[in-house]
Amino acid sequence: MRSEIFSFVIYMIHACANRWRKTPAQVYLVLKQSGCLNHYLVPNYDILHTQSTDFVVKDIEEYLAQKEVIV
């Protein structure tokens, strides 16, 4: 994984943790187990990193809702 993608993923984990009042470790597990990391964030980095943090967090929430994952 390229370092800029890795940095983006870490940043988004922390952004979600702040929004959801969870620890980054808890958010990482949810995103990893749901497939959000490997099937959404990483493959779509080129598009997502140009969007606002709020937009991407909301997009992650929609992804998780479609997978019926509760955070």
- Tell me the pTM: 0.94
pLDDT for the residue 43: 97
Nearest to 37 by CA among 66, 15, 69, 5: 5
16-55 pLDDT, tens digit each: 999 999 999 999 999 999 999 999 999 999 999 999 999 9
